[in-house]
Amino acid sequence: MTATNGAGEPVYVYRFGGGVSDGGKGDKNLLGGKGANLAEMASIGLPVPPGFTISTAMCARYYEEGEAFPESLRAEVANGIAHIESVTGKTFGDPANPLLVSVRSGARVSMPGMMDTVLNLGLNDATVEGLAKVSGDPRFAWDSYRRFIQMYADVVLGLDHDRFEEALEIAKEDRGYFLDTDLTAADLKALVAEYETLVEELWGKPFPQDVHDQLWGAVGAVFGSWQSERAKVYRRLNDIPGDWGTAVNVQAMVFGNMGDTSATGVAFTRDPSTGENGYYGEFLINAQGEDVVAGIRTPQYLTRAAREAAGAKPASMEEAMPEVYAELAGVFDTLERHYRDMQDIEFTVERAKLWMLQTRSGKRTAKAALKIAVDMASEGLITEEQAIARVDPAALDQLLHPTLDPDAARDVLTKGLPASPGAASGKVVFDADTAEKMAASGEDVILVRVETSPEDIHGMHAAKGILTARGGMTSHAAVVARGMGRPCVSGAGSLSIKGKDGVMRVGEREVKAGDVITIDGSTGEVMMGAVPTVQPELAGDFGTLMTWADKVRRLKVRTNAETPADCRTAREFGAEGIGLCRTEHMFFDAGRITAVRQMILASDEAGRRAALDKLLPEQRADFAEIFAVMAGLPVTIRLLDPPLHEFLPHEDAEFEEVAKATGLEVEALKRRAGELHEFNPMLGHRGCRLGVTYPEIYEMQARAIFEAAVEVAEKSGAAPVPEVMIPLVATAKELELMKAVVDMAAEAVFTDKGRRIDYLVGTMIELPRAAIRAGEIAEAGEFFSFGTNDLTQTTLGVSRDDAARFLGVYVEKGIYARDPFVSIDVEGVGALVEMAAERGRRTRPDIKLGICGEHGGDPASIAFCEQVGLDYVSASPYRVPIARLAAAQAALAK
């Protein structure tokens, strides 16, 4: 990775600007993100102040050598400085015409926790006079020096920042000033003297006057910051390897604070929150560096349109500096065409001359990512396939969730910042641990904090939404929430939160822990109660991207659904069939439960059949409704799976009801219920074991399925394709027996109705034995559906319902890379899936293979399914579009 010079020594310094670009097209691994993009901008002829990058390889070497630099680096850096001097015509440390530089850190990925940039380096008691003369602006020179000492003392020397702020405040107070800008050159000169005294007092040595000492001090501080606690924590949270290292960028200063023809600003080439194709940004006249984001002065809009839309007075850059603005707009277009992506840009204008200081691919919301990808493909900047690859399927989740019903009544409690889009309702909780606990027991919660910190991450993850009283659009809460796709309202300043007492107040109104609130992360509104929501629409860009995805994907996408409403939602989201229709929910229906209980508690077959006869028409009606919605598409129906005890009566009243229906004694029923008790129901009398012991249950379900199918085929003309699925099969014999029951029921119905329907009988593969014996099982089974929830439980020997207590630690310690119930354990469970698929196909080459566990909606698991060549994945209705996109990406990646 590191280049070498003629003598075979590694090269660490790469120059850029003034027609030179040692880093060529910019290798991010070597030059860091910032350095690579500076080199790349320079190489395509954009105006970049000249500079050089000390590569990331030096960072590793710096630590190898005990936090010291190799001798060879001195000559390389001197060469880099000479390059800047020759391009600018200024000399580093020369009191007559001093060169000033910035020293900027830059890892491969942008990383908070690293050293802050030092500006104006190269000023000392002598060069400040030179700068005053050359610029003709002594105030500017002394202000630059004042800022430099303050920054250097803070970020390089690590001295107490407050002491310098204090001195600045006192200087203003003493003179009766209000603003920094009121300070005159003479005032600033006096302040510099005070700063120098302060440095000596706090550091024990005078402020470094040798500009080379200043430079090496700053370079060392950048490399030193790579191992700072803040940087380490950030790396840990974001899976950034510790050996990447950071680069250091040294660059000629340009000044946005040289009067009214100078300015500094930040911009996005498209709107990062909506994706709208228009320049988006802010700038400040006569300002330097961080002034724009520091919030001391209110920045002005870039474009006239944006200014007018906001109803703001101060001139936009387009109006105030039309020529420079036009040049900047040209640069935006060049950069977008070059990088073929939306760019996040920093620029400075020095006396009407434009300079580019940074560019990178801009962070964006899911909505913007989608729009930008689709627009850029339509504009011909990228291909449809690249557009597909650009959008993170998991982020689509943000767009798929219901938004607040615009017609619903709202009781608005307060308003904060719209920090992360989407709406959420839930019970108020004031700490992350409680949020996690309540969410684990199935409750929707809104995590409410004064502000969040990294210790709250687990609670933020568990919560449906996040509300904070403090912090802006880039606060921890906002950034993390956007990353997770959680709705967030931040900085709701009128909230007074007393988490310890379990209350928050807005004026007179009080909200207690456990009260339900709704937040709208798109408007910032906080409302009392649960506000009703409406379905999102899959039209527009979303629909377009989905069409493109559908063209390239091979995997079919089905849904897990058992109500007509869910089936309809799933079809709207593009489901191509049902991969899992569970039938037990149908048994819980209030109108049927007594008949179900009667069936379970019956002591003989005749008693069971009497109860099943009552259930048959109900089941038939359920299936008919679903078949009607899914007409023409395959529908996989799983026969009864759960342990019977789940349906047992608990209350005396419930027993009495069953007694009345059956004519049996309550006591006898209770005895029978006791007999059904199981020590380990998960491994007990469930799945096809029910069908083996009581075939009449499956027989009734099969009849209901086929009668419904014939009925719908007759009515609509589009016959559904039932795929009858036998659960929890371990042996071929079980499946043979159950298939015979189903086939017999089918024949009976077809003969009776005088009409045949195509159907399949297959099995779920959810036990390791079934995967191992898949070759035999495929003799009777016409399809396999991998039930990876149970397969994960049975392969890992981990109960999903009890895993919360230890699985987090397992993931933390890297035992499993991700929660194996969320993303398939490829080496273990995945190996069984692959083996079963292979063995099944050997017996029956056209066997249909799918996955119906939770994993069917997880992009990483979908990539695995593509790899082993399954025919389809099945996901919950809201995850269907995610699965379609993930399947397309998986096909493209192959």
CA angle 82, 87, 92 (to 5 degrees): 45
Query: Cα–Cα distances in Å, from 281 out to 295, 371, 744?
Result: 14, 19, 71
Question: Minimum Å distance from CB 265 to ligand ADP?
Answer: 9
For the question of residue 83 being annotated catalytic, the response is: no
Task: Please work out the total of residues on this chain that contact Mg ion, with binding judged by CB under 5 A.
Answer: 5
* Positions in 840-869 near ligand ADP (CB under 6 A): none
Question: Minimum Å distance from CB 160 to ligand ADP?
Answer: 22
Looking at beta carbons only, is 119 or 631 nearer to ligand ADP? 119
Work out which of 289, 687, 722, 853 binds ligand ADP, going by CB under 6 A: 289
Question: Minimum Å distance from CB 102 to ligand ADP?
Answer: 3
SS3 content of the chain, % helix, strand, coil (to 5): 50, 20, 35
How do 280-285 and 300-301 pair as beta strands? Answer: antiparallel
Stretch that binds ligand ADP, among 10-18, 246-254, 668-676, 714-722 (CB under 6 A): 246-254
Work out which of 22, 40, 344, 346 binds ligand ADP, going by CB under 6 A: 346
Work out which of 358, 452, 792, 795 binds Mg ion, going by CB under 5 A: 358
Shortest-Cβ-distance residue relative to Mg ion: 790
845: Cβ contacts below 8 Å, ≥ 6 apart: none
Give the integer Cα–Cα distance in Å for 623 and 84. Answer: 77
* Catalytic pick among 83, 401, 476, 855: 476
Question: Minimum Å distance from CB 811 to ligand ADP?
Answer: 31
53: Cβ contacts below 8 Å, ≥ 6 apart: 13, 14, 16, 23, 31, 32, 35, 38, 39, 106, 247, 248, 249, 250
Strand stretches in 144-253, DSSP E: 246-252
Closest Cα to residue 723, out of 706, 748, 698, 740?
706
* Positions in 757-816 near Mg ion (CB under 5 A): 766, 787, 790
Question: Minimum Å distance from CB 34 to ligand ADP?
Answer: 6
* Positions in 668-687 near Mg ion (CB under 5 A): none
Closest Cα to residue 364, out of 325, 421, 443, 449?
421
Work out which of 251, 303, 475, 598 binds ligand ADP, going by CB under 6 A: 251
* Catalytic pick among 59, 488, 581, 852: 852
Residue 790 contact partner, candidates ligand ADP, Mg ion, none, CB within 5 to 8 A by sort of partner: Mg ion
Stretch that binds ligand ADP, among 245-253, 439-447, 633-641, 647-655 (CB under 6 A): 245-253
Question: Minimum Å distance from CB 431 to ligand ADP?
Answer: 32
Stretch that binds ligand ADP, among 247-255, 682-690, 691-699, 713-721 (CB under 6 A): 247-255
3-state DSSP call for residue 392? coil
Question: Minimum Å distance from CB 775 to Mg ion?
Answer: 21
Give the integer Cα–Cα distance in Å for 140 and 507. Answer: 47
Contact present, 477 and 490 (Cβ < 8 Å): yes
Give the integer Cα–Cα distance in Å for 235 and 221. Answer: 18
For the question of residue 567 being annotated catalytic, the response is: no
Give the integer Cα–Cα distance in Å for 685 and 707. Answer: 28
DSSP one-letter string for 236-298: HHTT--TTS-EEEEEEE---S-SSTT-EEEEEESS-TTT--SS-EEEEEET--TTHHHHTSSP
Work out which of 129, 194, 276, 290 binds ligand ADP, going by CB under 6 A: 290
254 interacts with ligand ADP by CB under 6 A: yes
Give the integer Cα–Cα distance in Å for 878 and 560. Answer: 10
823 interacts with ligand ADP by CB under 6 A: no
Task: Please work out the total of residues on this chain that contact ligand ADP, with binding judged by CB under 6 A.
Answer: 15
Looking up tokens 């430079």 gives 215
* Positions in 347-376 near ligand ADP (CB under 6 A): 348, 357-358
* Positions in 595-654 near ligand ADP (CB under 6 A): none
User: Residues in the chain, how many?
Assistant: 894
Give the integer Cα–Cα distance in Å for 499 and 449. Answer: 8
CA angle 190, 195, 196 (to 5 degrees): 100
* Positions in 856-875 near Mg ion (CB under 5 A): none
Question: Minimum Å distance from CB 79 to Mg ion?
Answer: 26
Structure tokens at 383: 């291909």
* Positions in 181-220 near ligand ADP (CB under 6 A): none
Stretch that binds ligand ADP, among 141-149, 210-218, 248-256, 506-514 (CB under 6 A): 248-256
Residue 303 contact partner, candidates Mg ion, ligand ADP, none, CB within 5 to 8 A by sort of partner: none
Question: Minimum Å distance from CB 331 to ligand ADP?
Answer: 14
Work out which of 49, 130, 762, 850 binds ligand ADP, going by CB under 6 A: 49
Burial class (CB in 10 A: 0-12, 13-18, 19+), 412: middle
Work out which of 119, 373, 546, 629 binds ligand ADP, going by CB under 6 A: 119
Looking at beta carbons only, is 346 or 858 nearer to Mg ion? 346
Residue 102 contact partner, candidates Mg ion, ligand ADP, none, CB within 5 to 8 A by sort of partner: ligand ADP
Contact present, 720 and 771 (Cβ < 8 Å): no
Residues that bind ligand ADP (CB under 6 A): 49, 102, 104, 117, 119, 251-254, 289-290, 346, 348, 357-358
- What residues act catalytically? 476, 852
